[in-house]
Amino acid sequence: MNKFFPLKFDFSLLAGLILAFVFFTIIGTITHEFGHYLAAKYIGLDAKVHYGYTSFTIPDDFSGVVSQADRFLLTLGGPLQTIFTGVLGLFLLYINRKTIKSLEKLKTFHWIYVFYLCFGYGKPLIL
């Protein structure tokens, strides 16, 4: 069978990648919401990060003061952070491309770069 299917499985690597996938999914979601949080703080609103969403409290003295531009910034905060994370992963992979090509298998920190890239887009990117 190896003649037709010369693939070897490294089960410890597979287990580690599955755990990293779960970990980066959680971290990616929280950091995305943190982008919304930072936008709210920049505007001057009270905000609280939850796992899947960020809640905002608009004080009484802010009533009617939050403009459409502010709402747009609140909406854009999460995706901007997500894009930043994805670009960071892509950049780290790019500057290490020669080292990665020369290796027989990726080192742990190279896998972290891959997960930065994949989870920088808010949801897992299927390569």
Q: How would residue 5 be classed by pLDDT, with cut points 50, 70 and 90?
A: low
- Whether the per-residue pLDDT at 16 is higher than 60: the answer is yes
Does residue 59 fall inside a structural domain? no
Average pLDDT over the chain, rounded to whole? 80
What's the domain range around 27? Answer: 13-49+66-119
Does residue 2 fall inside a structural domain? no
Does residue 91 fall inside a structural domain? yes
Q: Would strands 46-49 and 54-57 be described as parallel, antiparallel, or unpaired?
A: antiparallel
Does residue 84 fall inside a structural domain? yes
* Percentages of the chain per state (helix, strand, coil), in multiples of 5: 65, 5, 30
Q: Tell me, what DSSP letter sits at residue 50?
A: -
Provide the domain count of the chain: 1
Does residue 55 fall inside a structural domain? no
Does residue 21 fall inside a structural domain? yes
Question: 96-118 burial by CB neighbour count: b if 16+ within 10 A, else e?
Answer: beeeeeeeeeeeeeebebbbbbb
Does residue 92 fall inside a structural domain? yes
Does residue 71 fall inside a structural domain? yes
Q: Kindly report, residue by residue over 25-77, the tens digit of the pLDDT.
A: 888 889 899 999 999 999 888 899 988 888 887 777 666 677 888 889 998 99
Q: Tell me how far apart the alpha carbons of residues 74 and 43 are, in angstroms, rounded to a whole number.
A: 8
- Whether the per-residue pLDDT at 6 is higher than 50: the answer is yes
